Structure 1
Amino acid sequence: MGFARGAVALKVDSEPYDFRARARESFGRQAAMRTIGAELTRVEQGTVEIELPFDAKLTQQHGLLHAGIISAALDAAGTYAAYSVIDPDASLLTIEFKVNLLSPGRGERFLFRGEVTKPGTTIIVSDGRAYAVKPDGPAKLIASMTGTMMVVRGREGIEG
């Protein structure tokens, strides 16, 4: 992918910048992710993973993980992956995404991986994959997403 690895890989005005700490702090403020029980489990430059345990309160009428929950977690994974490639005075807003639901959301846990596809100074594109995890077999791909984020600077109420 071509991104530098390490907790202080980005430099802003010659000072190290800890994108991992920033992503974790920002994720901690996400009431939606807290409400569904999602946890940020991996933060690398250009890649983020979020995990979610199965909870019957998050299902649709057939007992499968709801498409809205899958979409929200994939959006967060892609956006936080993008957070890892922007400077600390910028923030992000999702402006578009497309989700493909590939298989029923049936598992004990779910993994949502977001990866930056195309970094940029104004627009960033990321791709995401959602997996259902069962104890008796390999993880199963259940959804994919492509998302577009707008880099925001200097806008009141939108920071970090």
Structure 2
Amino acid sequence: MQDHPTGNFRERIEASFAHQGAMTLIGAELTRIQQGIVEIELPYNVALTQQHGFLHAGVIAAALDSACTYAAYTMIDADVSILTIEFKVNLMSPGKGDRFLFRGEITKPGSNIIVADGRAYAIGDGPAKLIASMTGTKMAIRGREGISG
């Protein structure tokens, strides 16, 4: 992996992720960070399921949003932060697996608005199964008190 010319985005993303209470709560971990792509994984946990035992749609959306947001962090200067301003999730298959992979990938970089696409996969016996997709719009935040890169 090569660092972004404006700073070490890997260290910034790892530090930011460590401060995310929501990702800690669901047991998520960063497993891939490269320019334009971030992956987050989490093990199956019955505490994160809906009434049928499938991974809850809210958990899927939160993990996809984080993967897409951190992918955007790979595209910005070190003094800039990112906030989500919109996303849409398509749930394609029940979240049933031993582990889940959430990949965020930049579709359209920009200096103020960044668009990312995400894919969620259930991993178990056999090949990984696509369970959800996301398109999200991210906004670069500069110079706002209490929000930093």
Please classify the TM superposition score into its range, dividing by the shorter chain length.
over 0.9
Q: For residues 67-125 of structure 1, what are the alpha-carbon distances to aligned partners after superposition, in whole Å with 9 as ceiling and x for unaligned?
A: 00000000000000000000001001000000000000000000000000000000000
- Equivalent in the alignment of 1:129: 119
Query: In structure 1, what is the Cα distance between the partners aligned to 2:13 and 2:38?
Result: 9
- Equivalent in the alignment of 2:133: 144
User: Identity percentage over the alignment?
Assistant: 68
Report how far residue 11 of structure 1 moved.
2.1
SS at match of 1:76: helix
- Equivalent in the alignment of 1:11: 5
Report how far residue 48 of structure 1 moved.
0.3
TM-score normalised by the chain length of structure 1:
0.92
- Equivalent in the alignment of 2:94: 104
Where structure 1 has 5 or more consecutive residues not aligned to the other structure, the ranges are: none
Report how far residue 31 of structure 1 moved.
0.5
What value does the CA root-mean-square deviation take over the aligned residues? 0.7
**Larger C-alpha radius of gyration, 1 or 2?**
1
Q: Aligned pair 1:77/2:71, yes or no?
A: no
- Equivalent in the alignment of 1:118: 108
Amino acid at match of 2:114: I
- Equivalent in the alignment of 1:62: 52
Q: Aligned pair 1:50/2:50, yes or no?
A: no
